[in-house]
């Protein structure tokens, strides 16, 4: 799976995607018998400013019809998309998403669908008051939301989608993490030590978690 992120702030995003599980999944590693296996995912970034014809690399302008703020121009984004996936022979394997609070709700079911059906996922992260609507029309893109709230930009939603979809790519997660992913939520959890003290109060692990009775433990967790 290859992720293509169109954003004005690629360095902010790279700090996250180059770390931990996502960072590991982008590196080659050696398997049994010293056989080298390839990357599980790739994350590439495209800054619309690099595709602006404006001498000041400007990528926004005032909205037609009036209104507050500025709107991201269509052409730099379309050129960035063309650079990313425009020449792919099988466009059916390319999915383009625009981060938007008005979009359909992103879910774990969608994450699994994207990982199964597509080889390339393009995530367009807007700023200012939004993106010229012609981008969505020209690219036949879907608007996707990660929650019923508004952020200053689409970078955080894009990172959330990359993280969630990557977990569905075979080989990205280890065995233990894969089991965790199937559970979605682990519920009530504890680890060592058995008792702790905080602000003169003592907190102990409930006895059911020390009993070894897995049926009772799962019931306590609400499974």
57-62 average pLDDT score: 95
In a domain, 138, yes or no: yes
Domain count, the chain: 2
pLDDT beyond 90 at 177: no
Residue 120, pLDDT > 90, answer yes
Q: How many C-beta neighbours within 10 Å does residue 46 have? A: 23
Residue 179 pLDDT > 50, yes or no?
no
**Contact (CB, 8 A) for 81 and 6:** yes
Assign residue 158 the CATH number of its domain.
Answer: 3.40.1280.10
216 in the same domain as 146: no
Question: Percentage of the chain surpassing pLDDT 90?
Answer: 78
Q: Do residue 193 and residue 150 come from a single domain?
A: no
Taking the C-alpha atoms of residue 27 and residue 154, their distance in angstroms, rounded to an integer, is: 26
- The mean pLDDT of the chain is 91
Binning pLDDT at 50, 70 and 90, where does residue 181 land?
low
User: What is the chain's Cα-based Rg?
Assistant: 22
pLDDT at 174 over 80: no
Mean pLDDT confidence for 67-93: 95
Q: Which range marks the domain in which residue 199 is found?
A: 187-220
The answer to whether the beta carbons of residues 72 and 128 sit under 8 Å apart is: yes
Q: Which residue's structure tokens are 């036949």?
A: 140
Q: What is the pTM of this model?
A: 0.87
Task: Name every residue whose Cβ is closer than 8 Å to that of residue 119 and which is 6 or more positions away in sequence.
Answer: 1, 2, 90, 93, 94
Tokens of 12: 């902010």
pLDDT score of 30 more than 80: no
- Determine the pLDDT at residue 220: 87
Establish if 123 belongs to a structural domain: yes
Please tell me whether residues 16 and 58 are part of one structural domain. yes
Tell me what percent of the chain is helix, strand and coil, each rounded to the nearest 5: 40, 20, 40
End-to-end CA gap in the chain: 32
**Residue 216, pLDDT score:** 93
Assess whether 137 and 206 both reside in one domain: no
Q: Is residue 182 part of a domain?
A: no
CA 30 to CA 38: how far, in whole Å?
9
Tell whether 206 and 107 lie within a shared domain: no
| Residues 169, 192 within the same domain | no
């Amino acid at each position: 799976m290859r992720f293509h992120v169109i954003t004005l702030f690629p360095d902010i995003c790279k700090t996250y995607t180059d770390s931990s599980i996502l960072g590991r999944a982008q590196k080659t590693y050696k398997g049994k018998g010293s056989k080298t296996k390839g990357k599980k995912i790739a994350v590439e970034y495209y800054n619309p400013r690099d595709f602006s014809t404006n001498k000041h690399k400007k990528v926004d302008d005032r909205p037609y019809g009036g209104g507050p703020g500025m709107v991201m121009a269509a052409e730099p984004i379309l050129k960035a998309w063309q650079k990313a996936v425009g020449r792919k022979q099988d466009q059916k394997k390319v999915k383009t998403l625009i981060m938007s609070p008005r979009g359909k709700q992103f879910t774990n079911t969608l994450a699994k669908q994207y990982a199964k059906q597509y080889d390339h996922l393009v995530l367009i992260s807007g700023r200012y008051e939004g993106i010229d609507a012609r981008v969505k029309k020209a690219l036949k893109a879907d608007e996707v939301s990660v929650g019923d709230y508004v952020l200053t930009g689409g970078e955080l939603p894009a990172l959330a989608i990359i993280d969630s979809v990557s977990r569905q790519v075979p080989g990205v997660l280890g065995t233990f993490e894969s089991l965790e992913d199937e559970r979605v939520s682990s519920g009530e959890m504890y680890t060592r030590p058995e008792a702790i003290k905080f602000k003169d109060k003592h907190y102990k692990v409930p006895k059911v978690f020390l009993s070894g009775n897995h049926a009772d433990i799962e019931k306590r967790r609400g499974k």
